[in-house]
Amino acid sequence: MNVPVDRRYTDQHEWVIARDDGTVRIGITDFAQDALGDVVFVDLPEVGLVAAADESVAEVESTKSVAEVYTPIAGTIAAINEALAERPELVNDDPYGDGWFFAMTPADASDVDSLLEAAAYLALLD
């Protein structure tokens, strides 16, 4: 199971990575995309949406099911991955890279520190 150590994780199988511009990028983990199967559609939030932590803001549809994507922290949606509209399979092909979902400007950047480190996320999967 691919779990990069340079990001934080949630028990809902989202990942978060801080970016140099003060935003955080968010996507679903390798475990989540594998459990979903082939992703066929992604419904992303609107840029500018102000969201609370653990709020459902996106949806991912696969050949097996539909799953919600939650905000790991509170903040404002700063960008969305528009490439997913045409190529939702990026979520399966590269969940930690080109398959990211959205970026947020955190209400409090220190909230990221409260999320799971890679080792704790892996322990959760066991």
pLDDT of residue 126: 87
Q: What is the model's pTM?
A: 0.95
* Domains of the chain listed by start with CATH number: 8-108 (2.40.50.100)
pLDDT digits (tens, 9 = 90+) for 39-82: 999 999 999 999 999 999 999 999 999 999 999 999 999 999 99
- DSSP E strand boundaries for the chain: 8-9, 14-18, 24-28, 39-43, 50-51, 56-62, 66-70, 75-80, 102-106
Number of Cβ within a 10 Å radius of residue 32:
18
